[in-house]
Structure 1
Amino acid sequence: MGADREGGARRRPMRALAYAGVGAVLLTGCASMPDSGDLRNVESTPRQDAEVRVFATPPRDDAPPSEIVQGFLEALTSDDPQYATARQYLTGAAARRWAPERSTTVLSGGPDIRVDRTTGQEDADAYAFTLTGTTVAQVDHEQSYTPLHGRYNQPVHLTRNRKTGQWRIDRLPQGVVMGQSDFQRNYVSVDKYYFASNTGEETGSVGPVTAVADPVYVRRRVDAMTQMVRSLLAGPTHWLGPVVRSSFPTGTALRKGVTALTPDDQNRLTVPLNGNASRVGQRQCRQMATQLLFTLQNLTPTVDTVTLERPDGSTLCTLGEDRAETLATRGSLKQPEYLYFLDDKQRLVRLAAGTTGTYPDPVPGPLGEGLQRLTSAAVSWDERTAAGVSADKAALFVAPLASGSTLGAPVVRSRGKTKNDRLTPPSWDARGDLWVADRDPARPRLMVLEHGSGEPVEVRVPGLDGRIDAVRVAADGVRIALVVEHKDATKSLLIGRIERDGESGVRPVVSVLELRSAAPELEDVTAMSWAGDSRLVVAGREQGGVQTMRYVQVDGSTPEGPAPAALTGVKSIAATADGRLPLVAYSEDGIVRLPAGAQWQKVVKDGSAPVYPG
């Protein structure tokens, strides 16, 4: 019976149409199903140009079950906004039940179709298949990306309409499934922005608030701008939600009937809102507009003004990008004055950021005098204070970057017996607090010092599996990157959420929660640095491979664009969030830098531990 039903599956020719200068490719069958039911791959569509829109073809009359399943899977990779063509492969009841927005499952290749012989296939008007593959990731209903690794096995059942004789799918998994190359063609990662809620900044505060990036994936060519506005209004993702707030009142959404948003010829986007936001004050409205501007400029840099409207069409407020940058700070808006590193005398020295000079000056203050030799250092975001770990890694010092200041007693000491069992390089957060980890096997701990002084607060890190080898806090102060060494000697890059509990004047309880992997393919991470609002640069080695350097997203996905040029023997990396300044590394060639569009260039041979502020 299987042979009888599968005999009609054939490859159909590809056709293409063009609309208003934008290519539109019609998807057709990419592979055929043999009568025997052997496991075969429905290959992912070849990567298309970003401007090419892909549309699916509806099922043809009398198509056999395998062709119906193939056509449905191919329709999932199209640019059909509501998956109308994909629904044509389903029965009416299945089309009503199916919720494609629930999730997108990404497989290493296209999903394989296997005849399900466990059902017996006794019914001449029913047929069953199993979709299989290797899972790479999943994008959930919040559009949040999570790396996964495992087998994908989901049943698909078809029935034949006794009146029309046409096969249709009547049972299928919820959500969408596709191969990795199709996912990369169809989806784009975009940062939406909220405000840090654990920094003491409230809506009515006078100073600027701190913007925090929340990366999500949206369909690239299905009105991504409107998708992002809806996603922003819906609120932060579950992982980030506990440490951020939105200025939009609860329930705020686009005005009823608004289906698409488009900037005008002056690069202004007008966003009509429902009544939930009608009574907000001007400061709150400007913060709402700031969230929109930061989000949309991450998607479309040309948008430079946002106007928010009430349901009756009257204006709530209008905000330009210059005003937005005075209302909120974010990492990509901060440009350091200096690059810092240790010279051959183990002093802290600096070079003007972005310059080509190779004659650094010692920093003002005791850490630049050489009386206390250092092995690593960190400079606060305002570049007024520095912290340094002693050459034996046993002591952490903090001192002003000011002439005439003196070096006090260490603020932290480690009792580890060897250098590798002592202090990690330190890191400053946006609040002016200082972070460091002690690798002492007898008492491994992560610590934070409020304003870089006082008694260290031990940070709770539930679920930590191993010892912390490196610490870098994000510019927003609510996320932290940790390199963790496990019992099997592998080192992984993890991202955690920083939560603080405690009233003003009371010693806080600080926790790093819900650790997640940012570089799941790397098993031996040797160096990392924040390189964007939601991006890091990391050096590490894949299983059985050699050291490589790449950019990664905080959600574990790989951002678009080229990886940094190859560099061997990387021991530490320094990057800025805005990308305007060169990437800097300490390698077997000394301190080197990578300007945009160039190759690695030597800065100094005898130097180590380069850092930008943070």
Structure 2
Amino acid sequence: MTRRLLLVLVALLVLATGCASVPGESSVQVLRKVTEGDNPDIPAGPVEGTNPLDLVRGFVYASGSTVDRHGAARRFLTPEAAQGWDDGDSLTVLDEQFDTVYPPTSSTDPDTATVRIRGDRVGSLDALGAFEPAEAPVEIDVTVRRTNGQWRIDRLPAGVLVRLSDFRTNFRTVKGYFVDPARRATVADLRYLPAVPAQALPSRTVDMLLTGPSPALQDAAESVLPPSTRLRTNVTDAPDGALVVDLTQVGDLDDARRRLIAAQFVQTLAEINVPRVRLLVDGAPLLADKPDLTADDVAGAGAAVQPGADVPALVVTGGLVRALPGGDPVGGQAGNGSFDIASAATTPDGTRIAAVARDGGRTRLLVGPTDGMLQAVPLSGASLSRPTWTPTGGEVWTVLGGGPGAVVARVTVDQTGVVRTGQVNVAELTALGPLTDLRLSRDGVRVAAVVDGGLVTGAVVRAADGDVAVRNVRRLRPSDLSDVVGVDWRADESLIVVTARSDRPVSLVSSDGLTLQLVPGSNLTPPLKAVTAASSRPFLVADQGGIWSYDGGELDSWRQVLGAAPDGVPLYPG
């Protein structure tokens, strides 16, 4: 009796388990499982009984995972399609919201269907791991076929579609470091590498360095490694914890180039938390006196110059340059009323100032010591934009005209204060519309500009004959950023943007346009008029009533640092 009862209970349990594994019609559930180590979870495949629309949607969800050549996404394909799919052809980043629909005309075969993926492209990732912004609608058709009662994708174009959130989850941001050929200092180049397997990150990062700068920095930065450079052996971890990188075919290297190469590798590998690099050339240390290198050994190699903590923020209001907080006028002619100043900029060390002064119905540029006498530059026009300095403080730029015929003046100032004027070739910028504002990055190899009310970036290309041009221009987030009135560099890889819009007055944008984050606008009175930023400093903006500061914090709101300044223009050095 007991034995028969036990057999009945076992049979019922088996029956219940079998029924649970055969659900009815349901959508794809991209499940996640717990894994060991530091690799992210891998999405599961499609649920049995999935319909064509949900199958294709699940495929896009799963395509974010790069593990095993997009192995999770291949589970949504027929065996033939999985074998033929070229996932290395391209990677398109989609906005979060996308549709899977049946096109107007579809197959009459009950076991075959066409599904259209319809969404908005944010941009694409190239073979170098660089993001190329290119907003546009996307429509891609795939064919699905029912085999053994289950729908699977049978035909699809080459390449991968990934939602922005899945891309950010599965790819790691890495700044590759290359060299400004004019200053012989390192500059950052924003890249994205697959996050898994984590053990492959050092090798991928080294390969990225060997391929050179991205298209965004073409001709503005270079690698001091010759194109023939190869890895002599695989990148490995030494027993003592150092990462071993052994190069070959590097040619003859003088000491200066060797030290720049060391800076490129150590600064880049520090991005993926490699603390110590054993950099070799044909088995021998790259630097004979320093076999193992850390970030401290190359700390002075970077081109970016941040203002010192003791250099105050300033504001131009009431025709005077004043210090923040408090609003006391600075010493010298910039603050004593000798000129009617509309905007200004100081060098990164704060010792020299360039000021735009109103003079009747025109404006002119003045330069000199921040607390001393100012001299007029032979440069004037109906309007001049807020000046912007190079990191060395030897050159200042300003936009003349601010319309379709705008030009960018370049004024060099030597150590004795002698000035010379020239122009920057900005034809690629003005081809997109009226140029009204422009800011040099703190490493001096990039610009951010306001063109036709939108945000545009470009690279500073300096020719051997002394000509300077802005190339490789890119319009960032045109659908999100309109009515832009001001921009500044928060860091080499991020920008702060203010607009005249009340729904998104302040935004943070990556320098390649991949990410955009709204900054809370609490306490601000749009439309805003100006913005300034610097690393490790609060944001400063000007609204209708004065100057406001934002550094996040518990209140997550803006704090007024100077009131009764409706014409205020804040500035950090640079």
TM-score, normalization by structure 1: 0.76
Partner-residue secondary structure (3-state), 2:345: strand
Q: CA–CA distance in 2 between the matches of 1:61 and 1:602?
A: 59
Native 8 Å contact 1:57 1:71 kept in 2: no
Q: What's the offset of the Cα at 1:441? A: 5.8
Whether 2:94 is the aligned partner of 1:133: answer no
Equivalent residue number for residue 459 of structure 1 = 425
Amino acid at match of 2:87: P
Q: CA–CA distance in 1 between the matches of 2:233 and 2:115?
A: 41
* C-alpha RMSD of the superposition: 3.6
Native 8 Å contact 2:100 2:117 kept in 1: yes
Amino acid at match of 1:426: P
Whether 2:176 is the aligned partner of 1:152: answer no
Native 8 Å contact 1:340 1:348 kept in 2: no
Of 250, 268, 279, the match for 2:227: 250
Amino acid at match of 1:516: R
Equivalent residue number for residue 46 of structure 1 = none
Of 529, 548, 567, the match for 1:592: 548
Whether 2:44 is the aligned partner of 1:57: answer yes
- The alpha-carbon distance between structure 1 residues 9 and 242, as it changes in their structure 2 partners (threshold 3 A), is farther
- The alpha-carbon distance between structure 1 residues 126 and 548, as it changes in their structure 2 partners (threshold 3 A), is same
Q: CA–CA distance in 1 between the matches of 2:251 and 2:308?
A: 37
- The alpha-carbon distance between structure 1 residues 171 and 474, as it changes in their structure 2 partners (threshold 3 A), is same
Q: What do the CA deviations read for 1:324-377 (whole angstroms, capped 9, x no partner)?
A: 12233324x5535323434655232335xxxxx6364514x4323321120100
- The alpha-carbon distance between structure 1 residues 274 and 149, as it changes in their structure 2 partners (threshold 3 A), is same
Of 193, 196, 217, the match for 1:218: 193
Equivalent residue number for residue 82 of structure 1 = 69
Native 8 Å contact 2:187 2:303 kept in 1: no
Unaligned runs of 5+ in 2: 1-22
Whether 2:403 is the aligned partner of 1:445: answer no
Amino acid at match of 1:583: F
Partner-residue secondary structure (3-state), 1:376: strand
- The alpha-carbon distance between structure 1 residues 17 and 398, as it changes in their structure 2 partners (threshold 3 A), is same
Amino acid at match of 1:553: S
Partner-residue secondary structure (3-state), 2:174: strand
Native 8 Å contact 1:127 1:158 kept in 2: yes
Equivalent residue number for residue 569 of structure 2 = 609
Q: What's the offset of the Cα at 1:61? A: 8.2
Equivalent residue number for residue 438 of structure 2 = 471
- The alpha-carbon distance between structure 1 residues 255 and 116, as it changes in their structure 2 partners (threshold 3 A), is farther
Native 8 Å contact 1:339 1:611 kept in 2: no
- The alpha-carbon distance between structure 1 residues 244 and 377, as it changes in their structure 2 partners (threshold 3 A), is same
Unaligned runs of 5+ in 1: 1-6, 23-51, 202-208, 352-356, 417-421
Equivalent residue number for residue 549 of structure 1 = 506
Identity of counterpart residues, as a percentage?
Answer: 25
Equivalent residue number for residue 398 of structure 2 = 436
Q: What do the CA deviations read for 1:256-311 (whole angstroms, capped 9, x no partner)?
A: 554xx67989xx651423423486455433322322333344454xx443222346
The 5 A counterparts of 1:321-470 are: 321-331=295-305, 334-335=307-308, 337-342=310-315, 346-350=319-323, 358=326, 360=328, 362-363=330-331, 365-392=332-359, 394-401=362-369, 406-414=373-381, 416=382, 422-431=383-392, 432-439=394-401, 443-451=405-413, 453-457=419-423, 459-462=425-428, 464=430, 465-470=432-437
Of 11, 15, 19, the match for 2:35: 19
The 5 A counterparts of 1:489-528 are: 491-503=453-465, 508-520=466-478, 521-528=480-487
Of 165, 168, 171, the match for 2:155: 171
Q: CA–CA distance in 2 between the matches of 1:9 and 1:77?
A: 25
Q: CA–CA distance in 2 between the matches of 1:57 and 1:249?
A: 44
Q: What's the offset of the Cα at 1:413? A: 1.0
The 5 A counterparts of 1:64-103 are: 69=56, 72-78=59-65, 80-90=67-77, 94-95=81-82, 97-103=84-90
Of 153, 160, 167, the match for 1:183: 167
Amino acid at match of 1:532: A
Q: What do the CA deviations read for 1:196-255 (whole angstroms, capped 9, x no partner)?
A: 12x2x3xxxxxxx33322212233454355433332322111121211011233244555
Q: What do the CA deviations read for 1:72-117 (whole angstroms, capped 9, x no partner)?
A: 4343123525223433544566445433233322223465333467
Equivalent residue number for residue 277 of structure 2 = 306
TM-score, normalization by structure 2: 0.80
Native 8 Å contact 2:65 2:72 kept in 1: no
Partner-residue secondary structure (3-state), 2:375: coil
Q: What do the CA deviations read for 1:382-411 (whole angstroms, capped 9, x no partner)?
A: 4332111113573333333266x5333343
Q: CA–CA distance in 1 between the matches of 2:504 and 2:27?
A: 43
Q: CA–CA distance in 1 between the matches of 2:80 and 2:434?
A: 53
Q: CA–CA distance in 2 between the matches of 1:541 and 1:146?
A: 27
Partner-residue secondary structure (3-state), 2:204: helix
Equivalent residue number for residue 293 of structure 2 = 319
